[in-house]
Amino acid sequence: MKQKTMRIKLNSRSIFFGFAALSASLFFSCGNTGTKNEVKTEKVEEPAEATAPTAQELSFRDKEGKVLQLSTLKGKVVFINFWATWCPPCIHELPSIDQLKQSLKDNNDIVFLLVDVDGDMEKSSAFMAENKYDLPLYIAEGDIPAEFLGQSIPTTVILDKAGKIVERLEGSRDYGAPEIKKALEDIASGS
């Protein structure tokens, strides 16, 4: 019975991420160069330097200055989108992320974090307000580990309730499809 349940979980996730990949309207991304939050890249066989935080230590600051540590979100599915106001593919996918968030607004088990990689809260807040997006905006407190953000944006990372990465997607996607909403709900419910 346990294997059957596991197979169902994998199938739901596979369907979700397969659909996300197929429904991508743009398969390109912007280079993540010269941002305040530079990514530390190291070879796997070498020990990690102490300067790059682990996923559990990663934290973000909102426009009110409140710091949110990623580890406090265990028990929730976390949808993190790394973006910038100057990145056309990032801008292209924001309406569908806003639509997805609105469709899940009553689900307290799913949290959205939109992280401006430039760290310019004033500029990104103005952009969100101008476009009437109701998306929770953050900037990273310190460096972003390479397991979250590589060399391009947009990048979306989805964490399960245990805080483990279940998917990392680079490039613009259409997140407005009903199948994506259902897949996130399935991850949140554990099915």
Q: What string of DSSP letters covers 12-34?
A: HHHHHHHHHHHT-S----EE--S
> 60-112, pLDDT tens digit by residue?
999 999 999 999 999 999 999 999 999 999 999 999 999 999 999 999 999 99
Average pLDDT over residues 125-150: 94
Q: Is the pLDDT of residue 21 over 60?
A: no
pLDDT of the residue at 180: 85
Q: What is the CATH number of the domain that holds 65?
A: 3.40.30.10
If you count them, how many residues does the chain have?
Answer: 191
Place of tokens 């682990």: 54
Note the Cα 71 to chain centre separation in Å.
15
Torsion sign (Cα): 42, 45, 46, 50: positive
What mean pLDDT comes out for the span 166-180? 91
Residue 126 is predicted with a pLDDT of: 96
The pair phi, psi for residue 41, each rounded to 5°, is -110, 130
**Residue 183 has what pLDDT?**
87
Model confidence at 8: pLDDT above 60 = no
pTM of the model: 0.74
Q: Which tokens sit at 45?
A: 């066989």
Q: What is the domain count for the chain?
A: 1
Q: Which residues contact 12 (CB under 8 A, 6 or more apart)?
A: 183, 186, 187, 191
> Of 15-24, 27-36, 40-49, 64-73, which has the strongest mean pLDDT?
64-73
Q: Which domain holds residue 21?
A: 2-189
DSSP string for residues in the chain? -HHHHHHHHHHHHHHHHHHHHHT-S----EE--S-SSPPB---TTSPPPTTSPPTTT-EEE-TT--EEEGGGGTTSEEEEEEE-TT-HHHHHHHHHHHHHHHHTTT-TTEEEEEEETT--HHHHHHHHHHTT----EEEESSPPBTTT--SEESEEEEE-TTS-EEEEEES-----SHHHHHHHHHHHHT-
